[in-house]
Amino acid sequence: MCYRCSTTNSLLRQTGNACTSCRQPLEFSFVSFEPLPVVEFVLEEGISDEEAVRLIQMEPPQKTTSGPVITDEGTIKTLVLSGPPDDQLDDENDPFTSTNTEGGSEFQPVEVGRSVLTRLHRSEVMVKEWGAPIGNQYYRSVMPDFPISLCGSCNKNHVQH
């Protein structure tokens, strides 16, 4: 299964180790060789690897709940139901849950900016630090309760037991 677009993929694919729909490369556990629930992302132009790591390590903004608001203006009572504030990631403004339905043969990675990086929790992000000239690779776990480890010396992923 592709954790970016939720497409069910067969074991043998013409696209190799990538989703048949959105072309997202699949990341496998080096221990079990099962696909991991991660989505790779790239940084917007102008964001350095050092700045990205610093933004990811910051504590995300406190989640505020915006529940129903009742206003009473004489004979008119109004109930307003609202969702999460715009500064929090939800299904509508989260680039990782929006599906790539354009299709095509080219893979279009998820591109994130500073505002998204500050809203990500550091436990959801894995950074493979390759050094120059390759740079870093960034992954977000779309199932934060699924424990994934990253080996610091070889940059291989595996599921924690």
Strands 125-129 and 136-141, bridge-based pairing? antiparallel
Q: Which of 15-24, 44-53, 56-65, 151-160 has the lowest mean pLDDT?
A: 56-65
Q: CA 6, 86, 147, 109: dihedral to nearest 10 degrees?
A: 50
For the segment 87-122, what is each residue's pLDDT rounded down to a tens digit?
Answer: 455 555 678 766 555 555 678 888 999 999 999 988
Q: What's the CA gap between 33 and 151, in Å, rounded? A: 15
| Tokens coding 160 | 């924690």
- The percentage of residues in the chain with a pLDDT greater than 70, rounded to a whole number, is 76
Q: Which amino acid is at 7?
A: T
Mean pLDDT of 41-59: 93
Stretch (H or E) spanning 117: helix 114-119
Mean pLDDT of 14-29: 83
Q: What's the CA gap between 27 and 120, in Å, rounded? A: 20
Q: 64 Cβ partners below 8 Å, 6+ apart?
A: 85, 88
Domain boundaries, the chain: 38-159
Cβ atoms < 10 Å from Cβ of 129:
13
pLDDT at 147 over 60: yes
pLDDT at 12 over 70: yes
Residue 28 or residue 77, greater confidence: 28
Question: What pTM did the predictor assign?
Answer: 0.74
CB 52 within 8 A of CB 117: yes
For the segment 51-92, what is each residue's pLDDT rounded down to a tens digit?
Answer: 999 999 988 776 655 666 676 666 777 777 765 554 455 555
Mean pLDDT of 19-25: 84
Q: What's the CA gap between 120 and 117, in Å, rounded? A: 5
Q: What's the CA gap between 18 and 156, in Å, rounded? A: 18
